[in-house]
Amino acid sequence: MQQIYSHQDINGQYLPFPAGKVVCIGQNYADHIAELNSVKRPEPLFFIKPNSALCAVEASFEIPKHSGVCHNELELAVLIFKPLKNVTPEHVNAGIWGYGLALDLTLREVQSKLKKQGRPWELAKGFDGACPISPFINKSEIEYPQDIDLQLTVNGQSRQKGNTKNMIRGINQLISQMSQHFTLMPGDVVLTGTPAGVGPLKCGDKLELSLSSAKSNWQFNSTVR
């Protein structure tokens, strides 16, 4: 049976918000746009993963076995704890509880096919377990969220390395823009885009996800099932 996911903080305490929707932005780092041979567009590309996509990243998570290549996309995740609707960038911070790391798992072959057909992406990015996520660090512990180093290593080899200062749209700007279309509710999660280095995951891969800010460093370990 699938385990029910709940948001947790870094000390393993459950947080008193439901696991909500996951609002994501595609193509928010220039180096990732280049690796997909895509082009930068003036309008942001938003999409949503349902709450059934959420699962804990720590210890292990499962990938689909019969749907072609499943890519890692390591992203800074933002946990919302107050409703945000039509907010300006200056008002976003009041609605943020904290930060964590997520994998925006992507069935790349399925996605390419859907893109070619002009169809939406849910089958490639919204399946059960498509958003393994870490516990959340309260925002009081991260002084400069727009200067966080993110890293993913797979079997001891660095695969993705980025810094949130290289986002095309900064965290507050992109959440403000999202809130013009989708009200963000307590327990919703925002994914902020992936830096370069996406690649195929396979069963048995050992992952290390790390997040470093000026003062501290957090690490989460996992195995792909």
Which positions from 152 through 181 interact with Zn ion, judged by CB under 5 A? none
Interface residue with Zn ion among 29, 104, 162, 175 (CB under 5 A) is: 104
Q: Is residue 73 near Zn ion by the rule CB under 5 A?
A: yes
Instruction: Select 15 or 148, whichever has its Cβ closest to Zn ion.
Output: 148
Structure tokens at 211: 């997040």
Q: Rule CB under 5 A: is residue 188 a binding residue for Zn ion?
A: no
Angle, CA 124 vertex, CA 103 and CA 34 arms, to 5° = 70
Among the residue ranges 8-16, 96-104, 138-146, 153-161, the one whose residues contact Zn ion (CB under 5 A):
96-104
Q: Closest-CB residue for Zn ion?
A: 104
Question: Is residue 194 involved in binding Zn ion (CB under 5 A)?
Answer: yes
Q: What is the 3-state secondary structure (H, E, C) of the chain?
A: CCCCCCCEECCCCECCCCCCCEEEEECCEHHHHHHCCCCCCCCCEEEEECHHHEEECCEEECCCCCCCCEECCEEEEEEECCCECCCCHHHHHHHEEEEEEEECCEEHHHHHHHHHHCCCCHHHHCCCCCEEECCEEEHHHCCCCCCCEEEEEECCEEEEEEEHHHECCCHHHHHHHHHHHCCECCCCEEECCCCCCCCECCCCCEEEEEEECCCCEEEEEEEEC
CB nearer Zn ion, residue 121 or residue 220: 121
- Of the pair 104, 188, the CB lying nearest Zn ion is at 104
Q: Which is nearer to Zn ion, 56 or 198 (CB)?
A: 198
- The residue (of 45 and 214) whose beta carbon lies closer to Zn ion is 45
CB 61 within 8 A of CB 132: yes
For the bound state, the minimum distance from the C-beta of residue 186 to Zn ion, rounded and expressed in Å, comes to 23
Q: Check binding of 32 to Zn ion (CB under 5 A).
A: no
Q: Which residue number, 15 or 71, has a Cβ lying nearer to Zn ion?
A: 71
Q: For Zn ion, which stretch binds (CB under 5 A), given 13-21, 176-184, 189-197, 213-221?
A: 189-197
User: What does the block give as tokens for 21?
Assistant: 């929707």
Tokens of 103: 């994998």
Count of residues interacting with Zn ion (CB under 5 A): 3
Least Å distance, CB 8 to Zn ion, is 22
- Cα diameter, the chain: 46
111 binds Zn ion (CB under 5 A): no
**Minimum CB–partner distance for residue 192 and Zn ion (Å):** 9
| Residue 68 vs 91, nearer CB to Zn ion | 68
Residues in contact with Zn ion by the rule CB under 5 A: 73, 104, 194
